[in-house]
Amino acid sequence: MRFICSFVLFSLVALGPTTAVAQFSTVRLAVVPSPEETGLLRELLPAFERESGYRVEVFPTEDPHGLARAGQADLVISHYGHMGTEAFIAQGFGLWPRAVFANQIAIFGPTSDPARIGGLQDSAEAFRRIAEKGSRSQLVSNNSGIMKYLESILWEQAGRPAKESWYVDQGLSEADGMTLAATLKAYYVFALPPFLTWQQTCSNAEASGATARSSARPSVFPHHSAPCDMEPLVLVAMPARIMVSMVVNPQRIAAVNVTGATALQAYLLRPAVQARVDSFRDVRSPLQLWKSAGLHNSPAGLGLGGRP
């Protein structure tokens, strides 16, 4: 009797993982908005779905870690410097992060470009030229933590120019700061993917406002009264901001599709997929928005074993 019970128990244990894997037909991906908004994931994921048999459910959100903590994600992709990433890993909710891709940061400005920085290869030189023009060439500070930090580096590299006349800091960040910069015809440090979203929103609001004005109605878009003629002027020397993927830890969150999440993570790090990240273009811009970041992982994380 003891032998029969032991055999049954052994059989259940042996079959358990197979049953658990079989019950998952999807991989739930929680991700910050820009990879989805620009179409990067729509470019990369279909091949994985065809090859693996999984269907990937994408949940773009500003708080992908919160979604994972709530048991609604198997894989998370966010900026390495995202405010939730460090706690998510340190508290054991995510397995070791793998760098997958990075979004391009740029200095944006009006098409008139009063400081003549367009096309420069040296972002510190661009910063210096903006400062040299004084009040005729202003820069609006982006108070998003990482952008503020980058701005400080550029200011140091430019020789710490006095900020009295050209530097505008009203405590704004991200899209709000871009709107102020557009209104002032000033410069702004921002990432390319969210800029395209801002530009599209601005253009749509501008068109709607024009329709409202032609109908003799008061404008219903006062917060979108800024012009939309901002463009990326300095790209090459600006750094990119790395995003990482994190498989949700099944020891902390129940019912995680670890097999599927790990397979998707490994797929994103393949050389062929990383090359597609570099070559991808959003239909709204001919510029490179995303850069491959697989190089920043360990050889083991790239499936190369212990090779250096």
Domain parsing of the chain, residue ranges = 25-103+241-302, 104-234
State how beta strands 98-110 and 230-234 pair.
antiparallel
DSSP helix/strand/coil, 25: coil
**Cα-based torsion angle of the residue sequence 283, 287, 293, 295 in order, rounded to the nearest 10 degrees:** 130
Instruction: Please report where in the chains the tokens 């074993």 appear, as a residue.
Output: 305
- What per-residue confidence (pLDDT) applies to 9? 34
Q: What angle do CA 72, 75, 81 make, to 5 degrees?
A: 110
Domain 104-234 listed as CATH 3.30.450.40 = no
- What per-residue confidence (pLDDT) applies to 205? 85
Tell me which residue of 205, 246, 220 sits closest to 87, measured CA to CA. 246
- The residue count for the chain: 308
pLDDT, tens only, 9-19: 333 333 333 33
Q: Structure tokens of 249? A: 């830890």
Cα distances (Å, whole numbers) of residue 73 to 53, 116, 160, 248, 249: 18, 46, 45, 7, 10
**Can you give the pLDDT of all 308 residues of the chain as single tens digits?**
333 333 333 333 333 333 334 468 999 999 999 999 999 999 999 999 999 999 999 999 999 999 999 999 999 999 999 989 999 999 999 999 999 999 999 999 999 999 999 999 999 999 999 999 888 899 999 999 999 999 999 999 999 999 989 999 999 999 999 999 999 999 999 999 999 999 999 988 877 764 443 333 333 333 445 689 999 999 877 888 999 999 999 999 999 999 999 999 999 999 999 999 999 999 999 999 999 999 999 998 898 876 55
Contact 250, 75 (CB under 8 A): no
pTM over 0.85: no
Through-space distance between the first and last CA atoms of the chain, rounded to whole angstroms: 54
- What per-residue confidence (pLDDT) applies to 206? 74
Contact 227, 75 (CB under 8 A): no
- What per-residue confidence (pLDDT) applies to 308? 58
Q: How far is CA 230 from the centre of its chain?
A: 20
Domain 25-103+241-302 superfamily per CATH: Periplasmic binding protein-like II (3.40.190.10)
